[in-house]
């Protein structure tokens, strides 16, 4: 579950509420849980120390990058007029409607749409190599022996760049109000070329443009679509639209018109790198995977339309092509709410209760068989109470976050149900019966016709000096780690609901191919990744928080590609009055609400009843 800061829920009722905070990367929830006096509930507050630490380091990194970026990238050298926040062009009535451009020996010499000039000079239209900030900084310190230079091409409307490893050619074309650019990369080297980037041009707009990619970001902040100025997009939403993660379209609304920057064949990333507020932006593509002694073609375009033109109006074919390449395959018909269950909490500090179980207000003794028998009774009472609350609310089931307990609070949630016998041996206590306590716990819910689930993580746990430590693994190993955890929970407890914690690292979201592989292997489960990219919606129902971030629906961008996409929205207390209609609409469109599973939530039940009318 997520949230960037610990927040008090507005309009809280007299029952105990849960507050949670999102962590970036592999950070965890730290809960402070006070045993509740009513409905067997708990007061839960999540604190996010690791996230704040990450953001501090991230801010310093961005400051460093902005300094070396401006110093090192030739395409970013700004004149005072280019740095202005108002248009450098004199205002005049449109001289010619539609798209009009000319190609010179080094790129575009001119570009207008409906009479509005968008190039400051032919230099702004030059095809140029583009380097990352780190690469450019290194080149300043250690100049390369040779560099790529633009050379005049013999073919009409074509510009060449010569590199030490080969050549890049760009052929310009016009289709209505669309500039097409056919990029052909020839790798004459004996080694594969992983990637290269090219600045196609730098456009200047009459005002600071709005827009961005259709990505909602790992916290869902872009769920309504690009609503901010290009340079002010949230840090959780990258400026680049990488087709491995999101449909490669960047929308730009510059007031007098709209354009979409697209990878037509879904082969290259498109990017408008962020700078401090300005009206000029470079248009950059990144091309990948050119084999030795081979060429590869990439097709990109700039699609122009009137002010207010929608993405689907200008780039509907790209949306359809993306859905065809990465088809929607979530096969989950039940969209009733889901309850969340937490069995332990870090505020419990009882010597005889090292796993910090909250049942019986934490007064648990797992050091003797008598105490374990009492723990069994207390835990099964929690299950009985929760079963009734879930049934009364009309839930489809529940997810238990911590069957392993929370002895080592810095490492929670462990997200590995296979470690229950190791980390919480009292859960295996049978009290002369045939079943262990944890097996009886899950069976209570299944016997009531409810689905069950657990929290899993894509990290591997290693026991170091007797303590669990999360260890990061490469993407190619994550599939097997998660698959093994899913298989164990399915076989032992019949789990079909899986909250996948910490699905982002400091470098970004996990590759969506991981969730595709899991969906292929387990088509009968619902995967709920904590953090998201657009393509996750093809294989899962990503988690977002209404409680913390006011996310009231599945992101608009995701539904442009996948109309049947849906999310799991954390809304433990229902909707605030101003968001009531939005949450009702979300439920009608298939979004699933997540609530506290240990007491009946009438607000959740009412939202679903209204949505069914």
The pLDDT tens digits of the residues spanning 372-424 come to 999 999 999 999 999 999 999 999 999 999 999 999 987 778 999 999 999 99
Please list, in sequence order, all residues whose beta carbon lies within 8 angstroms of the beta carbon of residue 35, skipping any fewer than 6 positions away: 42, 358, 361, 362
Confidence of residue 472 (pLDDT cuts 50, 70, 90): confident
Q: What pLDDT, in 10s, does the model give residues 237-249? A: 888 999 999 999 9
- pLDDT for the residue numbered 91: 52
Average pLDDT score over the chain: 83
Q: What is the C-alpha separation between 584 and 574, in angstroms, rounded? A: 10
Selected residue with higher pLDDT from 388 and 463: 388
Please list, in sequence order, all residues whose beta carbon lies within 8 angstroms of the beta carbon of residue 530, skipping any fewer than 6 positions away: 1, 2, 22, 499, 500, 501, 502, 503, 504, 542, 543
Domain spans, the chain:
84-325, 383-611
Q: What is the C-alpha separation between 390 and 398, in angstroms, rounded? A: 8
- pLDDT for the residue numbered 543: 96
Q: What is the C-alpha separation between 542 and 569, in angstroms, rounded? A: 9
Q: Could you give the 3-state DSSP secondary structure of residue 572?
A: coil
- pLDDT for the residue numbered 8: 34
Residue 524 predicted with pLDDT over 70 = yes
- pLDDT for the residue numbered 12: 35
Confidence of residue 471 (pLDDT cuts 50, 70, 90): confident
- pLDDT for the residue numbered 228: 76
Residue 262 predicted with pLDDT over 80 = yes
- pLDDT for the residue numbered 95: 59
- pLDDT for the residue numbered 71: 38
Q: Give the residue-averaged pLDDT of 329-354.
A: 96
Fold of 84-325: Beta-galactosidase; Chain A, domain 5 (2.70.98)
Residue 88 predicted with pLDDT over 70 = no
Q: What pLDDT, in 10s, does the model give residues 113-153? A: 999 999 999 999 999 999 755 455 545 555 544 444 455 44
- Tell me, rounded to whole angstroms, the distance of Cα 134 from its chain centroid: 25
Residue 4 predicted with pLDDT over 90 = no
Residue 527 predicted with pLDDT over 90 = yes
Please list, in sequence order, all residues whose beta carbon lies within 8 angstroms of the beta carbon of residue 570, skipping any fewer than 6 positions away: 1, 2, 20, 543, 544, 545, 546, 547, 548, 594
Q: What pLDDT, in 10s, does the model give residues 572-596? A: 999 999 999 999 999 999 999 999 9
Which percentage of the chain shows pLDDT scores above 70?
Answer: 79
Q: What is the C-alpha separation between 440 and 513, in angstroms, rounded? A: 36
- pLDDT for the residue numbered 136: 56
Q: Give the residue-averaged pLDDT of 81-105.
A: 65
- pLDDT for the residue numbered 131: 75
This prediction has a pTM of: 0.82
Is 383-611 in CATH node 3.20.20.80?
yes
């Amino acid at each position: 579950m997520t949230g960037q800061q610990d927040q008090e829920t507005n309009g809280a009722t007299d029952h105990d509420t849960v507050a949670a905070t999102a962590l970036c990367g592999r950070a965890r929830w730290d809960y402070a849980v006070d045993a509740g006096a009513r409905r067997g509930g708990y007061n839960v507050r999540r604190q996010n120390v690791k996230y704040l630490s990450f953001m501090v380091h991230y801010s310093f990194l961005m400051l460093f990058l902005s300094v070396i970026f401006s110093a090192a990238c030739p395409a970013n050298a700004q004149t005072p007029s280019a740095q202005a926040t108002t248009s450098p062009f004199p205002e005049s009535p449109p001289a010619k409607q539609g798209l009009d451009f000319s190609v010179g020996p080094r790129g575009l010499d001119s570009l207008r749409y409906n009479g509005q000039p968008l190039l400051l000079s032919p230099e702004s239209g030059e095809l140029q190599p583009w380097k990352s900030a780190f690469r450019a900084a290194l080149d300043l310190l250690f100049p390369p022996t040779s560099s790529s230079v633009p050379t005049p091409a013999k073919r009409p409307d074509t510009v060449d760049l010569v590199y030490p490893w080969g050549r890049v050619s760009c052929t310009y074309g016009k289709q209505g109000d669309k500039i097409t650019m056919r990029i052909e990369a020839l790798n004459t080297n004996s080694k594969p070329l992983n990637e290269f980037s090219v600045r196609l041009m730098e456009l200047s707009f009459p005002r600071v443009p709005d827009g961005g990619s259709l990505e909602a970001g790992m916290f869902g902040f872009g769920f309504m679509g690009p609503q901010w100025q290009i340079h002010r997009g949230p840090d959780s939403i990258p400026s680049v639209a990488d087709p491995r993660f999101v449909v490669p379209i960047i929308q730009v609304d510059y007031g007098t018109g709209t354009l979409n920057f697209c990878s037509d064949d879904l082969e290259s990333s498109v990017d408008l790198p962020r700078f401090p507020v300005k009206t000029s932006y470079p248009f950059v593509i990144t091309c990948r995977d050119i084999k030795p002694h081979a060429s590869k073609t990439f097709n990109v375009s700039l699609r122009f339309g009137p002010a207010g033109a929608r993405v689907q109006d200008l780039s509907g074919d790209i949306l359809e092509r993306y859905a065809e390449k990465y088809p929607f395959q979530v096969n989950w018909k039940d969209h009733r709410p889901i309850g969340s269950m937490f069995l332990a909490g870090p505020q419990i500090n009882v010597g005889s209760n090292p796993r910090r179980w909250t049942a019986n207000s934490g007064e648990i003794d797992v050091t003797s068989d008598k105490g374990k028998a009492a723990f069994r009774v207390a835990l099964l009472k929690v299950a009985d109470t929760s079963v009734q609350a879930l049934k009364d609310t009309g839930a489809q089931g529940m997810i238990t976050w911590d069957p392993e307990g929370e002895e080592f609070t810095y490492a929670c949630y462990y997200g590995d149900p296979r470690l229950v016998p190791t980390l919480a041996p009292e859960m295996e206590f049978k009290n002369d019966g045939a079943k262990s306590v944890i097996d009886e716990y899950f069976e209570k819910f299944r016997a009531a016709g409810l689905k069950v689930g657990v929290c899993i993580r894509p990290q591997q746990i290693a026991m170091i000096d007797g303590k669990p430590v999360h260890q990061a693994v490469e993407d190619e190993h994550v599939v097997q780690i998660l698959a093994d955890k899913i298989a164990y929970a399915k076989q032992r407890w019949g789990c079909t609901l899986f909250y996948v914690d910490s699905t982002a690292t400091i470098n970004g979201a996990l590759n969506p191919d991981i969730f595709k592989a899991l969906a292929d292997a387990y088509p009968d489960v619902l995967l709920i990744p904590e953090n998201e990219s657009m393509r996750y919606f093809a294989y899962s129902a990503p988690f977002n928080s209404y409680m913390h971030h006011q996310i009231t629906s599945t992101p608009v961008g995701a539904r442009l590609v996948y109309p049947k996409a849906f999310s799991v929205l954390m809304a433990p207390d229902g909707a605030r009055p101003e968001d009531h209609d939005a949450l009702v609409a979300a439920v009608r469109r298939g979004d699933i609400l997540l609530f506290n599973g240990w007491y009946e939530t009438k607000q959740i039940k009412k939202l679903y009843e209204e949505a069914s009318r």
